Structure 1
Amino acid sequence: MSNVQSVRCGWRARARILGVRARRYLVLVLSAQAPQSCLLLVTGDVLVIRCFHEPEGVALGFESQVMSVSEVSGEYVVLIGYPASVQETPIRRDPRLVCRMPCGIMVDRVEASEYTTAALLDVSASGAKLFVAGLHPGYGVNVSMRLPPPFESYHEMDGEVVRRYSDRKHGVAWSERQDELMGKLSEFL
């Protein structure tokens, strides 16, 4: 999803990119909650489009001119010119590595708690995205993983669930930076 802002009208709306033809145009579909003033867009109006690119953690932004607007089944379809340039702004302080590696997690470090099988979807020195059910923001977790060859040792990290992306995807912030882990994983990945 992207955020769209009309320079002339001032409104803001959410949109998804429906299609692209490189160096020619983009097709946006504005969300159903978009303001009615979207229909006031005319050819030549300038839109500012902003989006967040995962897992790199980069905010992208560009301006483009409206080529046409139509309403289809209650949604606004906007054809805009291909951007001349795109501005990139890093948002994350630490780069993420996409990894899809198995791990075990224990919730809240309770003695009765047992390790549950999970997967690291991506990892950075300051956090990770986990694939596992049953977590909620605020939960403390201990993550244990076996490092790949040539290291072949176990590495444990303590952290806290800070974001819930879906029922099974969760963002975790580590209690301590994991620079050593990142050095080892970046050699392997």
Structure 2
Amino acid sequence: MAIAAYFLISILGVAARSAYAVQHIVGDSNGWTNFGDYTTWAASKTFNVGDTLLFNYGSSHGVDVVSKSDYDNCATGNAIDSYTSGPTTVKLTQPGPMYFACPSFGHCSTGMKLAINVVSQSSNTPTTTTPSDGSNSSPPSTTNPSTPSTSNPTKDVGSSSADRANMMVVGFSMILAPLVVFIC
């Protein structure tokens, strides 16, 4: 019975950790368009390993994952990954900077590009964003993922589903833990 209890607690621990993953809808309700301000959008978010980015876009757009140099120069010919039939979900699998651009002619140069920094959930590494003026300088603003931001009163759409998942895991834990103790 002790093995069953250990197994159950292990599963709940994994479920609780995965419940923290957030789906970030790029551009929120506006989606991935050539009218978005993605630098400002990204500055209000913390992107963790395990989170996803959801790009909602029409047939005249796409999403390319590009290098920093290609991001800076709006060059999409050497894309690391390319998606053209939206919506597109990109899972953030490792810490570090990631760069995205629309491959449609002229869209990147008018601001349809996104730079994020993905952090490990246990990391205190600051999140940085790239300036919207197209300069190659280092971004001036940082936010620390361990310090909650109070400047954005609206809640990210994806975090509400993560909160519900977290509450479900806690609820199941509160029900199953006494049951396991009773059985053992």
The structure with the largest strand share of the pair is 1
Sort the TM-score into its range (normalised by shorter chain): under 0.3
The structure with the largest helix share of the pair is 2
* CA radius of gyration, larger in: 1
